Structure 1
Amino acid sequence: MNNHLQRRMGTFALTMVGIGSMIGSGWLFGAWRAAQIAGPAAIFSWLIGMTVILFIALSYCELGSMFPEAGGMVKYTQYSHGSFIGFLAGWSNWIAIVSVIPVEAIASVQYMSSLPWKWAQWTHYLVVNGSLTLKGLLLASAFLFIYFLINYWTVSLFAKANSLITVFKIIIPGLTIGSLLFAGFHSGNFTSNSVGESHGLSSVFTAVATSGIIFAFNGFQSPINMAGEAKNPGRSIPIAVVGSILIATVIYVLLQVAFIGSVDPSLLVHGWNQLNFNSPFADLAIALNLNWLVIILYSDAFISPSGTAITYTATTARMIYGMQKNEYLPGVFGKIHPLYGVPRPAMFLNLAVSFLFLFLFRGWGKLAEVISVATLISYITGPVTVMTLRRTGERLYRPIKLKGLSIIAPCGFVFASLTLYWARWPLTGQVLLFIMIGLPIYFYYQMKVKWRGFRRNFLAGLWMVVYLFCMMGISYLGSNKFGGKNIIPYGWDMLLIAGLSLVFYIWGFKSGFETEYLHEASKLNEEIRISEEAIATESLEEKAV
């Protein structure tokens, strides 16, 4: 049986995968949620979020070019620190990503629930008090099945469908930005003292973690998880990752500016935190009598989230495939269809889990918060992993070796830790405990292999466990601006997080060792070196001709 994924995706297709993942339901709801929390200062929240993600993404760019394999994000840490922390990182990353699929379905249904036309009165019963009704759940379930079918047959169909949808997703936000800025822009919304309660920088930071900003930027890892299908991963991955982040940032910042400026000042008498919309941009368009834009926005409420969900349906299947190769899951999930080149059993598992999340979390806001925190937990291993591999895998071929990574990596670790803290207690504690629930699966498979190498793997990952419990404790004891008991006052809490983060970064870096998994991965790494040398030779020969 052919268990190899098909390498058909170029730089443009991978970039479209990244943008398609980022411009989903985040643009439909993110600007409104960020404005609710931080008011006009939400613009800075997007820039801070971009900075956090960019520092983390740069670490993964080097890793992705070294090991361009399906579901790579759940494998890298295993190469540097062994199976224990590798499982924790992979589990949290998978939980964060697979839950994006139902949240996008929820977003489409939630937007549709406020259609203003008489023929669409039935949609008003899809959502009640921000939660999907039985009818809403059935419609969202139908969306999940559509996402599944588009990915079921071939990578080529996924790539073509995603690129087409992504182009549309860039155009619609652009039309929205231009129309709102032209039709009704209130510059006073950015400076008036009546625009809501001021919580200082803490509100800006909290918006980064909980309003959907980290959730929106989460799509940067999609090109990395699809690296196994890239034609030239060493060139395509960094361009796709960094390019998609920067393009998404421009779009999101302009959307935030347009949203803040287009709100009727009379709606802000009681503050930004009292600003409630069912369909934020569509409601603004209705108020400004932009009927043509209303129609487009309601159409895009299906297209944008669907494009993101289609992307994540593909990438999460590759993650399950990767976790099986790490021996965390039964062998059936590592099977690739011999004709279509897609991991179908993994797709079925993710579909089942998506249905579970859909019925557990029936509102966009709550699930987006959970996803953001789970994602941050998985991100913290990237900077440690990439620098550890520079020590333990010095001989490995690196298509891209980033300059200044010795500074970028620890900064990325600190930024991710701070953002995790900004998510506020008790959410931080709830998600951290949720991540720990996966450990029995790890211990079960360790028992099956008779605890082979367990002690060394566990000690190499112990820093991660201690780190998570420390973060939980500081979140509980921290300032009341972030939901804590105010035992550690505001300002000192963030200094403590930053200092401890550097300690854990150093501990994590020193804990890594040359694992048996790294030996196996080095074979793939050597194949990449040979492949890229062959491509370079062919290119020179073509130029000579």
Structure 2
Amino acid sequence: MLFWRVKPLDKILETAEKKSLKRQLGAFQLTMLGIGAVIGTGIFVLTAEAGQKAGPGMMIAFVIAATVCALAALAYAELASMVPVSGSAYTYTYGVFGEIIAWVVGWALALEYGVGASVVSVGWSGYMNGLLAHSDLFGLVAPGALALPEALRAGPFAGGSFNLLAFLISFAVTVLLIIGTSKSAKVNAILVAIKIAALAMFVVIALPAVKSTNFEPFLPGGWGSPLGGVGVLGAAASIFFAYVGFDAVSTAAEETKNPNRNIPIGLIGSLAICTIFYLLVGYSAAGSVGAQPVLGVNGMPLDPGSDAMAAACAGSEALVCSKEPLAHVLRMIGFPTLGNWIGIAAILALPSVILMMMFGQTRIFFTMSRDGLLPEALSRVHPRFHTPHVITIITGIVVAVCSAFFPVGKLADTSNSGTLLAFAMVAIGVMILRKQQPNRPRPFRTPLVWLVCPLAVLGCLLLFVNLTMTAKLVFVIWAAIGLVVYRLYGYRRSQMAPDHKTLPPAPHLEPHPTFHEGPDPGP
């Protein structure tokens, strides 16, 4: 059953949309691409989440998550270079494990992309709400006059009723994706510069305010719990989201000059730079105002996103309670105007991350629909805009509703569960193909594959186990629903079923939003 209905890699390449892509990206461009894709909600928002789970020990969590990502990225790059087509990990597993495993991975990727877009939307709303609450519009109004009512600032699990701004930004990005949008590399570079400048400014201002007493105790939640969700490992499982997007480097393999050299430089370079920034930001935030978690009656950190946490944070100025932690730190140490500018930087940069994630979600389900595993309507292309408008509308509705009602921490952990499964399957797939098809051309080869890939799988498993129980439960329920859908629909309608002889022609789609002619984003 494992290797059932395997779609040969040659067939995948043959039936994919054919593009002649010019190899023009060097190591520097790939590194900038990776940094641009990585720096987003994770560091701007999840710093508070990590602090609540691990306290100052969140700095160790950043390193653990980065290490797992680096191992997975090296494995991912090999398959991306061998099969540079849309569908990402879903397509790769289809060509290695077969249809049912590919279905599970593709279904799980919905948790990464769709729920991940909700995470960024909620993070964006936190900074926008903070800016509205503290801005005087350059002296034109009283501070706080623009603030939304408390009930419309957050969902019901975070002390509010409906997160209006998160809902609206999700809706706006959905409209953009329907009418079609292609960002140039120059725009991406500008956004990268804004994000790096904002983080650098934060470190320069907050670092001198660090006090050693704020790091005591260093590990208030310990290393972790058998149930997951707390401690350093629990924080690493959550902060893993801060690195999601690095694989955009590996999916650009078809456009890379000398991929054997430049892809690992881009992957490791972008992860290293982001990790250094994250450590500096975490150290500065925890050391300047403290990052001690809010403890429950059992002496352990409360679960972020829970009713108890929302109640404990009511009116609190603690860093772990903030929905805009970096701006909050600067305001706490006496730089309110610069805190607002940090918020503006996040507000400008984060919508592009929402767009990338929603784009990835629509293209995954588009590819699955083309393969017959989902209804044909999902792969319909708008006659004017040349975008898969049906699945984009459905994705937009789901993202908007999730972002309006659920807290950022719960969403991030749920998103990570799908990502970790996809990365583990890719690493296993690399090892299987090394044995099954050792002579197949590999523009990029994973170094020390029999060490890197097993460690990648173990790392993904370690982080998955340390997700919150809610995230693991949602993942299991979502996977079970997916298997039912596959049995009732995809099993019979699949293009690999005996009564299907040909694949439909590939419709023309809008290109990748990072390049004018690029591949789809990976998991």
TM over 0.5: yes
* Matching residue within 114, 130, 147 for 1:98: 114
Residue type of the alignment partner of 1:189: N
1:188 aligns with 2:233: no
- Equivalent runs, 1:524-539 vs 2, <5 Å: none
Q: Which residue of 2 aligns with 1:538?
A: none
Q: Which amino acid aligns with 1:393?
A: Q
Q: 2:75 matched to 1:62?
A: no
Alignment of 1:372-391 (within 5 A): 372-391=416-435
Judged with a 3 Å threshold, the aligned counterparts in structure 2 of structure 1 residues 269 and 328 are, in CA distance, closer, same or farther, namely: closer
Counterpart of 2:395 in structure 1 is 350
Q: Kindly tell me: are residues 317 and 164 of structure 1, through their superposed partners in 2, closer, same or farther at Cα, counting changes over 3 Å?
A: farther
With over 3 angstroms needed to count, the CA separation of the structure-2 counterparts of 1:354 and 1:427, relative to structure 1, is closer
Moved more, 161-170 or 403-412: 161-170
CA spacing shift, 1:301–1:450, aligned 2, 3 Å: closer
SS at the partner of 1:119?
Answer: coil
Note the 1:81-96 alignment, pairs <5 A: 81-96=97-112
Q: Does 1:420 align with 2:464?
A: yes
Which residue is 1:205 aligned to?
A: 233
Give the residue type in structure 2 aligned to 1:355: A
Query: 1:324 is aligned with what amino acid?
Result: S
* 1:315–1:452 Cα change, 3 Å: closer
CA drift of 1:442 comes to: 1.8
Distance (whole Å) between structure 1 residues aligned to residue 104 and residue 162 of structure 2: 36
Q: Which residue of 1 aligns with 2:358?
A: 313
> Alpha-carbon deviations, 1:250-299, whole Å to 9, x = none?
11111111111111599999999474224222222112111331121221
Q: Any residues of structure 2 matched to 1:312-461 within 5 Å, and which?
A: 312-334=357-379, 343-359=388-404, 361-443=405-487, 444-448=489-493, 452=497
Look up the equivalent residue of 2:269 and give its one-letter code: G
Alignment of 1:241-280 (within 5 A): 241-263=267-289, 273=301, 275=318, 276-280=321-325
Deviation (angstroms), 1:61: 0.7
Partners of 2:407 and 2:399 lie apart in 1 by 14
User: Which secondary structure state, in structure 1, belongs to the residue aligned with residue 344 of structure 2?
Assistant: helix
Q: Distance in 1 between matches of 2:174 and 2:187?
A: 13
- Shift of residue 334 of structure 1? 4.2
Shift in CA distance, 278/357, structure 1 to aligned 2, threshold 3 Å: closer
Cα shift at 1:225: 5.0
1:107 paired residue number: 123
Deviation (angstroms), 1:416: 0.9
Which position in structure 1 is the counterpart of 2:515? none
Contact 2:53-2:293 within 8 A present in 1 as well? no
Instruction: Note the C-alpha offset of 1:346.
Output: 4.3
Q: Answer with 436-445 or 117-126: which moved more.
A: 117-126
- The Cα shift of 1:125 comes to 4.6
For the residues of structure 1 that align with 2:33 and 2:399, how far apart are their CA atoms?
Answer: 20
Give the number of aligned pairs.
447
The 5 A counterparts of 1:485-504 are none
Q: Partners of 1:295 and 1:340 in 2: how far apart?
A: 37
Greater percentage in helix: 1
Asked if 1:167 is matched to 2:193, the reply is yes
Unaligned runs of 5+ in 1: 455-515, 518-545
- 8 Å Cα contact 2:224/2:466 also seen in 1: no
Residue identity matched to 1:395: N
The residue that corresponds to 1:476 in the other structure is: none
- Could you tell me the TM-score, scaled by structure 2's length? 0.76
Q: Output the CA distance in 1 between the equivalents of 2:333 and 2:48.
A: 17
User: Are residues 233 and 424 of structure 1, via their aligned partners in 2, closer, same or farther at CA, if it must alter by over 3 Å?
Assistant: farther
Distance 1:20 1:344 in 2: 26
TM-score normalised to structure 1 length: 0.73
| Greater alpha carbon shift after TM alignment, 387-396 vs 42-51 | 387-396
Shift of 1:150: 4.4
Q: Provide Cα deviations, 1:427-455, integer angstroms capped at 9, x if missing partner.
A: 4233222222111232212123599479x
| 1:341 Cα deviation after fit | 6.7
Q: Which amino acid aligns with 1:71?
A: G
Change (3 A) 1:75 1:233: farther
Give the letter for the 2:331 counterpart.
Answer: I
Alignment of 1:20 with 2:43, yes or no, is: no
For the 8 Å contact 1:151–1:158, the answer to whether it is kept is no
Partner of 1:42: 58
CA contact (8 A) 1:71 1:226 kept: no
> Residues 20, 27 of structure 1: CA spacing in aligned structure 2 closer, same or farther, 3 A cutoff?
same
Of 118, 121, 125, the match for 2:147? 121
Task: Give the superposition deviation at 1:357.
Answer: 2.6
CA RMSD in angstroms comes to 3.5
- Between 1:264-273 and 1:31-40, the stretch displaced more is 264-273
CA-to-aligned-CA distance 1:336-377 (integer Å, 9 cap, x gap): 679977555543343233234334x43211111211222212
Aligned residue type for 1:112: M
Shift of 1:319: 2.0
- DSSP-derived class of the 1:399 partner: coil
Q: Confirm or deny: 8 A CA contact 1:151 1:157 kept in the other structure.
A: no
Name the structure 2 match of 1:497. Answer: none
Task: Determine if contact 1:109/1:126 at 8 Å carries over to the other structure.
Answer: no
Higher mean displacement: 378-387 or 270-279: 270-279
| CA deviation after TM superposition for structure 1 residue 180, in Å | 0.5
Counterparts of 2:366 and 2:186, CA distance in 1: 22
8 Å CA contact retained: 1:32, 1:259: no
Change (3 A) 1:163 1:341: farther
Decide which moves more: 12-21 or 280-289.
12-21
Where structure 2 has 5 or more consecutive residues not aligned to the other structure, the ranges are: 1-15, 135-142, 226-230, 302-311, 313-317, 504-523
